[in-house]
Amino acid sequence: MRLLVTGGAGFIGSHYVRTLLQGGYAGHAAGYADAEVTIYDKLTYAGNLANLEPVATHPGYRFVQGDIIDARLLDEVLPGHDAVLNFAAETHVDRSILGAADFVVTNVLGAQTLFDACLRADVPRVVHISTDEVYGSIAEGSFRETDPLLPNSPYSAAKAGGDLLARAYAVTHGLNVSITRCTNNYGPYHFPEKVIPLFVTNLLDGQPVPLYGDGLNVRDWLHVDDHCRGIQLVLERGEPGEIYNIGGGTELTNRELTERLLTACGRDASFITYVEDRKGHDRRYSIDGAKLAALGYAPRIDFERGLADVVVWYREHRDWWEPLKGRAALPGAPAAMAAPAAAGAR
């Protein structure tokens, strides 16, 4: 089994690669116990080869630095692979508000370029990883895969564009591609521009944490390991052109999340700095995961335990995150904030 993982040096992609090469999917369908993986990553500010160090000497590991809009390089690399998992994306909502162009190029044009290359290379299987943010905000209930897309940020709009292209390539060209849409992820190796790693690293350094608006925006939290297990299940059993929601089952307001992080880091509410709300800030995300549950999926990692483990990981891995804090800063953000608290966590 040969897999190509685009964006494999990022937070979620690298977790998938580490789990795969460390035997985490060996008990799944045939071929994953001795799988070979090509990591294809542009190494933008959020791509980090340190995320892959635990498996970099594995005999099945290969790294290629490349952009998914580079059709010529994709044509060189793709032939012979049995599956492609597309994690490559620009993901930070706040950055998309400051400038949308990179998001459209990578998340829309990049997806189209990759899908075309997969057709030329006759790749048997593709999974396109997306986000629940494409649905927009929902006051009550939960989004199902058949609900309309109503994205409210340049980031989520660009991801929606990639999703629609994936479906179009399945219908028009017969590309065997499935789409996954996850809720907010958390876990180790998470770049410190996103809310949990930003808040944890700030609190460990005795710095304040910036909380948007009234702090009552609601998100569903999903451990990255559970997310990647869901992706693996879709890779093995998903249908062409179909969409699969992957949720964590833990809905919290951002204020509730902040309170848990303060407790875990031994700080109090005096460390909260309320900041002006973000433009177009979605109030609540919630998805119905029944479709994937019917294939046998359920999250395994309890949020309280998972969050405690993450705090310990950041406390013990300063050598990983301290060099990244400067790269996490957005233009004009106060130094103590490093970056605004992102609602998105992909």
Q: Is 70 left (phi over 0), alpha (psi -120 to 50) or beta?
A: beta
Task: Report phi then psi at 178, rounded to 5.
Answer: -115, 155
H helix runs in the chain, sequence order? 11-21, 71-77, 93-98, 101-104, 110-120, 154-173, 195-204, 224-237, 254-264, 290-293, 303-316, 318-321, 325-328
Domains annotated on the chain, with CATH: 2-184+221-246 (3.40.50.720), 190-220+249-284+302-328 (3.90.25.10)
List pLDDT tens digits, range 151-208.
Answer: 999 999 999 999 999 999 999 999 999 999 999 999 999 999 999 999 999 999 999 9
Structure-block tokens of residue 66: 């490349």
| Residue 338 banded pLDDT, cuts 50, 70, 90 | very low
List pLDDT tens digits, range 231-270.
Answer: 999 999 999 999 999 999 999 999 999 999 999 999 999 9
Residues noted as catalytic: 132-133, 155
- Listed range (51-60, 252-261, 336-345) with the worst mean pLDDT: 336-345
251 vs 289: CA distance, rounded Å: 14
Average pLDDT over residues 263-279: 96
Closest C-alpha among 83, 81, 2, 74 to residue 40: 74
pTM, 2 dp? 0.94
For residue 145, the SS3 value is coil
